[in-house]
Amino acid sequence: MRRAAVLLGLLLALHGGAWPPAAAAATAFDPLIAAAARRHGVEAALVKAVIRCESNFDPQAVSPRGAQGLMQLLPATQALLGLRDPFDAAANLDAGVRYLALLSQTFAGDLPLVVAAYNAGPQAVIDAGYAVPAFAETQRYVACVLAARQQYRREGEPPAAAAAAAASALHVEPPQVVLSGARLTVRLSASHRAAQVGHGTVMLLYPEDAFAMVALHTAAAETVVRLAPASAPAAYHLLVGHWTAWEPGERRRVLLSLTPPRRATLLHLSVLLYDAARTAVQARWSTLLPLPAATKAWPAAAE
């Protein structure tokens, strides 16, 4: 046990975290961790390990890249998950655990890949051939989280349970992907059962260098188009559209038009239901949609 703890300390030091955390800090969030883990079907020991290696239990932590809070979520990821205040420990933790659950679904529960995707982004895992990317930081991070998880499991953290079923005011149909000529179309529709008129926000996060063009159409008068620069950086871009005055029971639609991706790609799609004043998120939906590379899986585009 002591040898494992020493190894974990070295990994944390290499990853940039302080060691050891104060005993009070290491246990102060246990009730929140347990509740979020049960709610989203994620192992509590994994959640605690991610917090330990990300922020060392500091809810005010900010990384050099701008990741914030207990689970060190970047602003674009915060937006997709509907997180309004990254320094609200309970809200940050719940959003981070929801993201872990989404990554676990995407990578079929392969823990090293899930942890690597949390650190480097899911696209980096795909680009590495569904393996842990060869980035030194990510390699250290995965080792840190896996070692911390083992320690917390030995200390008696419960295993993952099935996610608690919770009725949602938001219903989203599974996305439909269609190739037509030289365009790839993704169709999505949603309705809500909230008591009052709401406001919908639709977001798409994608690697900009994978597409020459992306258009997000959410209403008759709203289409957001993004043309990639000639030498697009290997970075993510966030497109946002809106459904205003969204009546209960009313079906709204979103249409994505894209050029077929240059490589195997993940699209992160989110739908958020706000109250009419946009002061509070009432329901959330999110998915990671895989698209194969155009040259391998799509038919040749029509001339």
In the block, tokens 């911390």 appear at: 148
Let me know if 54 is a catalytic residue.
Answer: yes
Q: Report how far residue 239's alpha carbon sits from residue 172's, in angstroms, rounded to the nearest whole number.
A: 19
Q: Report how far residue 168's alpha carbon sits from residue 272's, in angstroms, rounded to the nearest whole number.
A: 12
Q: What DSSP character marks residue 62?
A: B
Q: DSSP readout, 139-180? A: HHHHHHHHHHHHHHHHTTPPPP-PPPP---SEEEPPPEEEEE
Considering 43, 54, 137, 155, which one is annotated as catalytic?
54
* Residue of 32, 164, 171 whose CA lies nearest to 95: 32
β strands within the chain, DSSP E = 170-172, 176-180, 183-192, 198-207, 213-219, 222-227, 236-246, 252-258, 265-275, 281-291
* Residue of 20, 34, 288, 4 whose CA lies nearest to 150: 4
3-class SS at 256? strand
Going by their DSSP bridges, the two strands 176-180 and 281-291 should be labelled as unpaired
Active site residue ranges: 54
